Structures are given as structure tokens and as C-alpha cells.
Amino acid sequence: MRDLFKKLLPFLSFVALFVSLSILSPYFLTVDNLSSVARQTAVINIIAIGMTLVIISGGIDLSVGSVLAFSGVCGTLLMERGMGVVSSTLLGIFSGLAWGLGNGLIVTQFRVPPFIATLGCMGMARGLTLLITDGIPVTAIPKNFGRLGDGIFFGMIPVPVVILLGIGVMMSYVLRYTRLGRYAYAIGGNAQAAYLSGINLTSWTLIIYSILGALTGLAGMIEASRLVTGQPTAGDGYELRVIAAVVIGGGSLNGGAGTVLGTTVGAFIMSLLNNGCNLLGISPFIQQILIGGIIVLAVAVDELRRRRLE
């Protein structure tokens, strides 16, 4: 019961924020606005769901912002060369998966700590993206690719939100009911114990990083579609926003904790704050202070609770 309450904390903040924005701004509670908030969150949120899995398993991935740009540029370049929209998109996603696999290999085979391994890949992916595009955005993209990021179902539900929903449901299922999910918690909780109980750390770690890579690739294609260009500088700083979403949602950088629902709420808290500040005309500088403060507060509350136990 009390644990349940702790789990509900991000939720309560979300509801409080939602209600206060509805009161403060007459424009907040409109179909147009809520659908843009959801669309604005989708890209970060899709990556954050993959990051939740990685963080649960005790890892971290700093390369997601760069990989997002890499995938977006790869996919759009293929389209520019005349390949079909669907196959280019799939290959774009695959290029993200390849980076994830690469991260996993560096972590497991060379025993480089995830922070360092993915920091390295962050630089490599960004550099490679700039190299293959010469730093210039990819612009010759077929019109119908725009639907991935800007399309709308039933006149109000943006396509990226539907994708986000599907991925969220799938990942929740994976975490709760599959071996992958249980092993991720086990590895993150105590890698030594997991190893001794016969879990193959190497292959599961590779799978975990690859899933995040593929989701980042997907997010990269959505972002490219939304920007109607393959931007080599896209996703700058996204890794921190993604990690912040996981942490606000109750994930622990020590591993072993985190949920898809929490992460999603975390991502929405950040974009509601942005949206609210924009609607209310609050300075963008104050927005950053607010979000920074909330990250610290979220973790501090968690820590206080933990210390009380000891």
C-alpha cells in the first residue's frame, strides 16, 4: 500500500500539473493543444522507454541523441537516393539497432563501463552523421514520409502517439511477463547474483542495448519526418532529457528499478511544463530551472525515503 503510494508520486505531480494548467490557461485543455503536447513528447518518450530497460539492467546510454540523428540521416539519404519510404524507414531503424548492438559489444566484450562506451559512441555517431552529410541537412524527401511524424488518426490522435502507445504496451508486457524483463531487473539489482544463478549476462546485455538502439532509430525517423529533413544536428542533448524522464518516473541509475508507465509520466511532466510555460508566457530560462529542480526533487524524495529505511 505504501509502496503503491510511492509509485503514484510522479502520477500525482502529473495530475496536479495538468489540473493547474487547465485552470490557468484557457487554451490548454483543447484537442489541438493536447495533441501537440503528445506529439512533442513522443520522440523523447519512445527513446525513454528503451532507456528504461537499459537503466533497469544497471546500464546507461549517452549515445541516443547522436544515434537519433544518424538514423534519421541514413533513412532520409536512402529516400533521396530513390529507395521506398517504408524500406528506408526500416533501414533507418536498423541503423539505430546496429549502434545499440555496438554499444552492447563494447560494454560486454571490452569491459568498458557503459557510461564511457556510450560516451564514445555518442561522439562517433555524431561525427559520422556530419561526415556522411557534409553537415548539410538532407532535404529531397518524398512528401508522404511526412505522415509518420505529422499524420493524424481520427482527426485528433497523432501517428507518433499511436506508435508510442504500442511500444509502451509491448515494453510493459516484456518487463512484467517475459524472461527478458525479469533478467533485466535481476542483472540491474545484482549482476553478480544474476551471473551465479546462470543468466548469460553477455547475450542479454546485447539484446537490451539493441532494443534501445532500434527504438532510438525509430524515434530518429519520426523526428526526421517531423522536421521534413534529415538534420545532422538533430537530437543534441536528447540523451539527458531521456534519462531525466526515466529518473523522474522513478527509475534508479543504480539499476533494478523503473517502469514504463513511470517513465512515460516523467516524459509528460517535462513536456507539460514546457507547454505550460509557453502558453502562459513564462520565460524559457525559467522553464529550464523548473525542469532541473524537478529532477533533483524527484530523486531527493526517493533517497530520503530510502535513508529512512536504514
Partner 1 sequence: MMSSQGSQLKFNRKSRAKPLGSVLVILLLAISCERSKEKVIAVVPKGQAHIFWQMVHAGALAAGAQFRVKVLWNGPASEIEISKQINIVEDFINRRVNGIVLAPSDEKALVPVIESAARRGIPVTIFDSGAQTESYVSFVATDNYGGGVKAAHRMAEMLGKKGNVAIVGVMPGSSSTTQRENGFKETIAKEYPQIKIAAFQYGMSDRAKSLSVTEDILTANPGLKGIFGPNESSSIGAAQAVKGRGLSGKVKIVGFDSSPSLIGDLREGIIDSLIVQNPFAMGFEGVRTLCEKLEGKTPRRRVDTGVTLVTKENLSEPQIQQLISPTLERYLGRQ
Q: Which positions from 6 through 25 interact with partner 1, judged by CB under 8 A?
A: 6, 9-10, 12-13, 15-17, 20-21, 24-25
Question: Based on CB atoms, which residue is closest to partner 1, 101 or 174?
Answer: 174
Residues 61-120 touching partner 1, rule: CB under 8 A, are none
Q: Give the interface segment with partner 1, choosing from 100-108, 194-202, 205-213, 279-287 (CB under 8 A).
A: 279-287
Residues 147-176 touching partner 1, rule: CB under 8 A, are 150
Question: Based on CB atoms, which residue is closest to partner 1, 42 or 207?
Answer: 42
In whole angstroms, give the CA distance from residue 186 to residue 197.
10
- The reply to whether 227 sits near partner 1 by the rule CB under 8 A is yes
Q: What SS3 class is residue 154?
A: coil
| 50, 65, 168, 255: residue in contact with partner 1 (rule CB under 8 A) | 255
| 120, 151, 181, 189: residue in contact with partner 1 (rule CB under 8 A) | 189
Q: Give the interface segment with partner 1, choosing from 1-9, 75-83, 98-106, 196-204 (CB under 8 A).
A: 1-9
Site string for partner 1, 117-146 (x = CB under 8 A): -----------------xxxx-x------x
Question: Based on CB atoms, which residue is closest to partner 1, 109 or 193?
Answer: 193
Q: Give the interface segment with partner 1, choosing from 73-81, 109-117, 209-217, 269-277 (CB under 8 A).
A: 269-277
Question: Based on CB atoms, which residue is closest to partner 1, 147 or 153?
Answer: 147
Please give the size of the binding site for partner 1, defined by CB under 8 A: 77
R_g (Cα) of the chain, nearest Å = 19
In whole angstroms, give the CA distance from residue 216 to residue 101.
12
Residue 244: CB minimum distance to partner 1, A: 14
How many angstroms separate the Cα of 59 from the Cα of each of 32, 40, 115, 251, 265? 38, 26, 8, 12, 21
Instruction: Report DSSP letters for 201-262, one per residue.
Output: HHHHHHHHHHHHHHHHHHHHHHHHHHTTSB-TTTTTTHHHHHHHHHHHTT--TTSS---HHH
Place of cell 560486454: 108
Q: Give the interface segment with partner 1, choosing from 105-113, 164-172, 208-216, 249-257 (CB under 8 A).
A: 249-257
Q: 268-272: list long-range contacts, CB under 8 Å, 24+ apart.
A: 268/14, 268/37, 268/41, 268/45, 269/10, 269/13, 269/14, 269/17, 269/294, 270/41, 270/44, 270/241, 270/244, 270/245, 270/294, 271/37, 271/40, 271/41, 271/44, 272/14, 272/17, 272/18, 272/21, 272/37
The values of phi and psi at residue 254, to 5°, are -80, -5
Question: Based on CB atoms, which residue is closest to partner 1, 101 or 228?
Answer: 228
Amino acid letter, residue 209: Y
Question: Based on CB atoms, which residue is closest to partner 1, 102 or 258?
Answer: 258
Residue 110: CB minimum distance to partner 1, A: 25
| 43, 194, 212, 214: residue in contact with partner 1 (rule CB under 8 A) | 43
Name the nearest CA neighbour of 48 among 174, 215, 178. Answer: 215
Question: Based on CB atoms, which residue is closest to partner 1, 156 or 236?
Answer: 236
CB 130 within 8 A of CB 232: yes
